[in-house]
A and B are shown apart, each in its own frame.
Chain A
Amino acid sequence: MLKKGDIGVIVFSLIIIITIFGWRQFGNSKSPKIATVIVNGKIEKRIRLDNIKKTEYIKLHNKTVVLKLENGKICFYKSKCKNKFCIKTGWASKKGDKIVCVPEKTKITILDESDRIDGLSY
């Protein structure tokens, strides 16, 4: 037979479990638009794109890449790479967008938690 104290423990435990699962499931649902800049596999910056007031330029640590930011979008502005494919690609502005500079090992992604696809064949 369960005692009053036991019921208290169960209720308390249930609250903890529901909170944890609830946070996991729905915690990111109101996600802002965030660009993640990854250099050589390591996250260098996370930049919130939806409240940029004026054009900004960001020099990365490796000093070979400069990024340009405007409200809601980000792009490669300068890069020491040969072919400048990264600059030619233009803006990343939508969730799921990705721009890569292979020679400079730099990737910009705008994360989309509800990814429509698991991989892109190109």
Chain B
Amino acid sequence: MKGKITILFLVFLVITLSACNNSKPFKSELYAMGTLIDQVIYGKNAKITSKEVSKKIKTIERQMTVKLPGGDVDKINKNATKSAVVVDREILNLIKSSIKISKLSNGAFDITILPIVNLWGIGTDKERIPSDSEIKKLLPLVNYRDIVIDDEKSSVFLKKENQKIDLGGIAKGYAGDVAIGIYKNQSIKKAIINLGGNVVTLGSKVDNQPWTIGIQNPREKNGVIIGTVKVSNKAVVSSGDYERYFEKNGVRYHHIIDPKTGKPARSGLISSTIIAKSSTEADGLSTATFILGLDEGMKLIRKYKNDEAIFVTYDKKVYTTDGLNGIFEFKDDSGEYKYVKKR
């Protein structure tokens, strides 16, 4: 009798253990920062961690939005030329990171672009093609050198009247890094978060293989890919002319504005993907390289030794940096693209 009880106990132990192993992740989704944010988290604190991340993302959104009043960024913009605004240390650091990318990209990435972005209104119900004179009038406001940072006071000041900053080009990237930080604090070892196409991974998959991230085909509907990258502990962020745009007389007017011209960037690229340790950096660099184009984009990415890139040109050629050999797999079902690897 004792033996039977022992065996039965062992059986139930096996069943119980197999039922609560960590191979099934906790999944959550959140609509914030103007997009859909998916989290897939493995481990026993997964649910509580996902809630903490969602809460934090909403806080970041509130602080950084320029669509509603009350956030730190909105206060900076409203006080342009008037006074320096004391902001949360996080916002200050993110503005500093943005300025660093602006400097290295020679102004291709510039958070002072907001007045011009508002003029075009792409992705809103007010989208239109502004006149050259309207653009010319606002272009002097676009200059990251006019952002005055006081590190000690944690304050930000804008030098010119009507000057406005927008962290929209880097905020989702930043939120991805913050999420990874929270996962680590909660001793999560494996997780993936997708913030509207900005994919950030922690660790590897349950089978200890790297995560497979699809790269969107820029001319097909969402979900159709031109290839994959296999990554662990990396962010994969893409920018392209296919996300938000309108067409008039056969011309595509997309949402990534070149700070030099005040018009949608026409650099010859239709998409730019960055693979980097920092999701914030990847976000800023994907925009900057998209604006710079293939040659200048390659030069910029070489300044970031551990970062890699995939560029797709207007004539549907796919270029990658050397570090992606064996990591990027070209898989184009449409047959329209050509993988030429090196420039």
Contact = CB atoms under 8 A, between A and B. Distances in A.
A121 B236 contact: yes
Given A96-B223, A102-B34, A82 B124 contact: yes
Interface of B: 3-4, 7-8, 11, 14-15, 18, 28-31, 34-36, 40, 123-125, 192, 194, 196-199, 201, 205, 211-216, 221-223, 225, 228, 236-238, 240, 242-243, 273
A115 B201 CA distance: 17
A119 interface: yes
A99 B194 CA distance: 15
Interface string A55-93: 000000000000000000000000000110000011000
B125 A83 contact: yes
B222 A120 contact: yes
Nearest to B275: A121
Given A82-B125, A120-B214, A121-B214, A17 B197 contact: no
Nearest to A12: B11
Given A82-B125, A100-B36, A102-B35, A121 B213 contact: yes
Interface residues of A, number: 33
Interface of A: 2-3, 5-6, 9-10, 13, 16-17, 20-21, 38, 40-41, 82-83, 89-90, 96-100, 102, 105, 107, 116-122
Contacts of A17: 11, 14-15
A41 B28 contact: yes
A43 to B, nearest CB: 11
A118 B198 contact: no
Q: Which has the most chain B C-beta neighbours within 10 Å: A17, A21, A102, A118?
A: A118
A90 B215 CA distance: 20
Nearest to B274: A121
